Structures are given as C-alpha cells and as structure tokens.
Amino acid sequence: MDHHIFIIGMPGSGKSSLGRKVGSILRVPYVDMDRLISEELGGSVTEIFARWGEDAFRNAETNLLIRLTREAPCLVSTGGGTVMREVNRAIMKSSGVILLVDRPLDQILSDIKLDRRPLLAEKGLGEVERLYRERIDTYRASADLVLRNSEGYFSGVSGMEKLVRECWGLNGRTR
C-alpha cells in the first residue's frame, strides 16, 4: 500500500457503508471524512453547515485531505461534494487513486435518508436529482476506477473489495 484510495460518489451511493466494510474485511486503515470532520468540529455535518456554512465545511475537507496525504495510505470515503473542488481533485490525484461508486439515480432516490444530508434535507428529492446532474460528469471524469453499485450491498462490497485488492496488490490476502 503505497498510495491512498479516495472513494467518491453521490450521497447515497454507498461510499461510507462499502468503504467501512471493505476496510474491515481487508484490515486496512479506513477514514470517513464526514465523520472525522464532525468529530473534530464537534457537531454533525448538518450542524456544521448551519453554524458555519458550506464554505467552512468545504475548507475543512480540503484541510483534511492535505493532512491525510501526510499520513500512511488508507481507504478514504469522501463527502459527496469533496471532488467538486478542483484543488481537492488535484490533492487526491497527486497522492492516490480515485474510486467512483457509481450508483443509478433511481436507486439513490429510493433509499436516501435526506435528514442526514445537509444540502438535501430542506429541498427534497428534486435536489438529489439536480446534484446528480450537476456532479456526475465531474465524478466520472475524476475517477481512476469505477464500481458500478447497482446490484445491492453484498455485490457492492465484493466489487469494491476486488478493486481495492487489485489497486493495493493485496492478491487475496488480508493484512
């Protein structure tokens, strides 16, 4: 493991749930950026947005990415908007591989929990559709690897595990 793997994708695509499970299976370091920022700033993502605004949260993401590049390689679930900043894309590209969890919009809409999504909570499912259209081209253009996550959780875990093993040369071994 000589580089990070940054997991990107829409809110509700499976970045965190799949990343956490694959990190556990492979016994590799795993970081959920939203969770770490919440812990460090003392509030949920929704509370941070309300208290300090989106720019402050996005700055915290950039600062965390910089900090992570100075640490041992790990599997990193980013927030849905992290990759939308050019500086963040540059940081991720220079220190790792970007893995897109690409899940169909209709599946995201069918089970996304809006109350956990600060950009979406007040605006509803229409906002999810708008963000998808706004972001999907950037996600796909930024990705070094793509996991098509449309066949359910267990298939997603298996697919991500395979990609991570190949990317880090784990060859079927756990560490």
What is the tens place of the pLDDT at every residue in 110-156? 877 655 555 565 667 788 889 899 999 999 999 999 999 999 999 99
40 located within any domain: yes
CATH value at residue 108: 3.40.50.300
Q: What is the pLDDT of residue 121?
A: 59
53 located within any domain: yes
Domain that holds residue 68: 4-165
69 located within any domain: yes
142 located within any domain: yes
Task: Give which of 1, 11, 3, 15 is closest to 146, Cα–Cα.
Answer: 15
172 located within any domain: no
Task: Give which of 58, 49, 127 is closest to 89, Cα–Cα.
Answer: 58
51 located within any domain: yes
Task: Please state, for a pLDDT cut of 70, what percent of the chain lies above it.
Answer: 91
127 located within any domain: yes
The number of domains in the chain is 1
Q: What is the pLDDT of residue 119?
A: 55
What is the tens place of the pLDDT at every residue in 78-99? 999 999 999 999 999 999 999 9
Helix, strand or coil, per DSSP, at residue 156: helix
H helix or E strand, kind and range, residue 164: helix 153-168
